[in-house]
Amino acid sequence: MTPTAGSSAPDIPAASAAEPPPVWFLTPEGFFALPLADGPAERVERAESFVRQLYSRGSEEIWAPAAPTYATLAERIGATGVSYAALGLFSTSERERTPTGDVARHDLAEGAAQCAFTLAAVPTEQEAGAVDVVAQGIVAALSRDTLNDVQWLDLPCGPAVSCVTWREYQLGPEVTATAEPAAFVTAEMQVHVPFPTGPFTAVFTLVTASIDHWSQFVDMMGGILQTVSFTDPAEALTE
């Protein structure tokens, strides 16, 4: 793992200002990574695999038209600087065990909650090791909006800042199932984690409209953040 905030981070080489260094993290079962890739041919290939995982009970009638859609979506997301994007699909069934005591594998047809999850590296021009300074600046900037719920986090990889924002959109009757105006509410958690090497900050974003399950998504995000590392965990195990 990376040294804690305030250390000189002697084991981590300085990062190039042109491209962010790698970052490692784990996501839970139920996350399906979008087919981000540099070239169109690879995006198409990954998209075909992606739709088969996402719609595992589907058929070519579903997969064939869906794959180009997700390939195009991946291209557009990748162009924004996002390096990882995933869709999360989770059963809302409360039954955790089968009658024999095994972990229950639920059919999403019983009910599903979904989210979108992304990672991007944003230039922040800090010097190597100056993670506290960057995090304090992020707190100050995000706190200017009184609608933001901003909190300081101490993660195993160093300091971070979380920002939770709720948004409400008014939908017209032409797009609702009831043909009546309706409110559409989303919740977003964005967590900024400064790279100890500088000069970037990793920004993890989780957005969902399944607000009845927001507390579970918060716990899920917390679990992901506990695994974030700026050094290869596999190398740490061999030391």
User: How sure is the predictor about 99, in pLDDT bands with cuts at 50, 70 and 90?
Assistant: low
Domain residues of the chain, as ranges? 31-93+105-238
- In this prediction, residue 238 carries a pLDDT of 66
Edge-to-edge strand ranges of the sheet holding 149-155: 31-33, 82-91, 112-123, 200-208, 182-194, 158-171, 149-155
What is the residue type of 159? Answer: P
> Tokens in use for 59?
């058929």
Average pLDDT over residues 160-164: 98
- In this prediction, residue 239 carries a pLDDT of 60
CB contact set of 108 (below 8 Å; sequence gap of 6+): 89, 91
Helical ranges in the chain per DSSP H: 40-54, 60-78, 131-142, 214-225, 233-238
Q: Mind listing the pLDDT tens digit for each residue in 36-58?
A: 877 888 888 999 998 988 888 88
Q: For residue 56, how many C-alpha atoms fall within 13 Å in the half-sphere facing its CB?
A: 7
User: How sure is the predictor about 203, in pLDDT bands with cuts at 50, 70 and 90?
Assistant: very high
Asked if residue 192 lies in contact with residue 201, where contact means CB atoms within 8 angstroms, the answer is yes
Asked if residue 108 lies in contact with residue 85, where contact means CB atoms within 8 angstroms, the answer is no
Mean pLDDT (the chain, rounded): 83
Cα gap 115→216, rounded to integer Å: 11
40-54 and 60-78 helices, crossing angle to 10°: 130
